[in-house]
Structure 1
Amino acid sequence: MSVDQLSAPLTKDQAYELVDAVMERDDLALTASAHENEDTGQWYFEAACDSPPDLAAFVELARQTLGIEVEFSVSRIDPEINWVARSLEGLAPVTAGGFYVYGSHETGPVPSGLTAIRIDAAQAFGTGHHETTTGCLEAINLLLKRRKPRHMIDVGTGTGVLAIALAKRTKTPVIASDIDPISVTTTIANAEQNGVGTLIVAVEATGLTQSTITQNGPYDLIVANILAGPLMALAPSVGKAAQKGASIVLSGILEHQARGVINAYARQGMTLTQTLQRKEWTTLMLEMK
């Protein structure tokens, strides 16, 4: 498969808004991201797409989302290189919520008192480095200090890092779902190497209507680290899948998007209990009333 990369210089807020808009669609890009050039301070929107990309659709989406004309540059990605893994190799370990997330390149000892999770760079997202993931790990840590959930699901599991964190701490089975089959395969492999392969049930699913998910519900803990738009669309399904008194952890939300997500879940009977802020990213902790 030939893959191209689209990029455009934007402001930080514009770049993240366009990422959100692109990832709400299934037809435009394989991945999308926003990043800052450390030398110049310029922010960029980037998207990896099947070749050739639908450039006109990107221009129109940018016009609708940002209200401006955006000029994208297109370059070919070497098909022999896994750019996701290449970009994440060598990242330093992350400590969050009493968890220690590290890659196999890290040879030092695990700090005392921390729950170790080994996650290598792969063709799925979630190595623990992003503020959305660290926010979720901290939220999980806070919730597990209060009670031990028995029926848990991690929606949009990526590499499985959050499901693995839950399984390691609770020694209880966790459903880990993702729309992407590569994420499901990656989660299974990561669960095995972290010693919780028998506790993680990884399923390919869109939303919460897949049979394995419905058969194992209702849930007393639901974690979803995706994006604001999909989270709001998912709210009615989460409301149906959650037990009374269930805890819900939501992330992948920019600070200015939080109110919209909170309102969407309030309409389903869930109330906000705590907010965790990490840079421009918000993690929401809610309870089903």
Structure 2
Amino acid sequence: MPQDQISTPLTKDQAYALVDAVMERDDLALTASAHENEDTGEWFFEATCDSPPDIKAFEALAQTVLGGDVNFAINPIAEDTDWVSRSLEGLKPVLAGGFYVYGGHESTPPPAGVIPIHIDAAQAFGTGHHETTTGCLEAIQRVLKRKRPMRPIDVGTGTGILAIAVAKRRKIPVIASDIDPLAVRITRENARLNGVGHLIVEVDAAGLDHTTIQGNAPYDLIIANILAGPLVTLSPGIGRIAEKGAAIILSGLLNTQAQRVIAAYNRQGMVLKDRIVRKDWTTLVLEKA
């Protein structure tokens, strides 16, 4: 499906406020972010939308949130653009949580004492370079230092990187689900590439109602690196499939969105145990009471 990127320059606080407001809704954007131009120091709001974007709705929301008129620029995204491949160009391997994530373009062998994870460029989220992914890898290491989960699930697996990390560290089967069939196929390929194809159970599922997910519940480790809105929506379902004492790792949320997510999971009987902040992004570790 054709997609467009819309953007506008704002102050840092304005950009983050608009991101929060957009991500509260399910009808405006696929994703939204705030970022700083390192050369000029100028901040921008950006959102990726199905084409054509509802500019009038964006303008109305900006008027409500920011109290003034905002003009958005629209940039069509070529349908054959592989954003992950482009983002990997020139990127170095990532070391996080004792895991070493690298691409096929890397010629230097992994250092000693780490768990290597080979993730090549693919049309799915999760190459290891984003703060949400490194935060989750760090959270996995912290959880596995004090727990020995036997029934883990990775919801919204993307490239499968987090499911692969758990499988390589624990050497146990991991359910890896995603709403996108392409992500499921890429996860299968990456699992084989990393020698854990026999341990990763890929599931093409929207939400948690799939028979494989329900049939293997309850889970003692649940990982979901998606977005704040879907995390809140999934909180009752995650509460139902989590066994008592289960560790729940949540990411994909901005620092400003963390309290909203914590509150939603508190209502389902899950309490905050740890928090990892990397730049503007937060990873939460909760436990089913």
TM-score (norm 2): 0.91
Q: Are the aligned partners of 2:155 and 2:224 in contact in 1 as well (CA < 8 Å)?
A: yes
The code of the aligned residue for 1:98 comes to G
CA-to-partner distance for each residue in 1:116-138, whole Å, 9 max, x for gaps? 11112321111111111111111
Moved more, 54-63 or 139-148: 54-63
CA-to-partner distance for each residue in 1:49-82, whole Å, 9 max, x for gaps? 3433222222233334544432111123333432
The code of the aligned residue for 2:281 comes to W
The code of the aligned residue for 1:96 comes to A
The code of the aligned residue for 2:83 comes to W
The code of the aligned residue for 2:152 comes to M
Partner of 2:227: 227
- Distance across 2 between alignment mates of 1:94 and 1:168: 17
- Where 1:127 maps in the other structure, the secondary structure is coil
- Distance across 1 between alignment mates of 2:151 and 2:68: 46
Structure 1: runs of 5 or more not aligned:
none
- Distance across 2 between alignment mates of 1:228 and 1:68: 26
Partner of 2:78: 78
Structure 1 position 264, deviation (Å): 1.5
Q: CA 1:115–1:46 in 2, change beyond 3 Å: closer, same or farther? A: same
Q: Are the aligned partners of 2:7 and 2:44 in contact in 1 as well (CA < 8 Å)?
A: yes
1:5-20 → structure 2 map (5 Å cutoff): 5-20=5-20
1:1-289 → structure 2 map (5 Å cutoff): 1-23=1-23, 25-289=25-289
Structure 1 position 146, deviation (Å): 1.5
- Distance across 2 between alignment mates of 1:210 and 1:13: 40
Identity of aligned residues (%): 66
CA-to-partner distance for each residue in 1:230-256, whole Å, 9 max, x for gaps? 212211111100011111111122223
Structure 1 position 7, deviation (Å): 1.4
TM-score (norm 1): 0.91
Moved more, 188-197 or 164-173: 188-197
RMSD, matched Cα: 2.0
Q: Are the aligned partners of 1:89 and 1:121 in contact in 2 as well (CA < 8 Å)?
A: no
- Distance across 1 between alignment mates of 2:71 and 2:155: 35
Structure 1 position 109, deviation (Å): 0.7
Structure 2: runs of 5 or more not aligned:
none
Q: CA 1:24–1:89 in 2, change beyond 3 Å: closer, same or farther? A: farther
The code of the aligned residue for 1:90 comes to G
- Distance across 1 between alignment mates of 2:288 and 2:277: 21
Structure 1 position 22, deviation (Å): 4.0
Q: Are the aligned partners of 2:20 and 2:257 in contact in 1 as well (CA < 8 Å)?
A: no
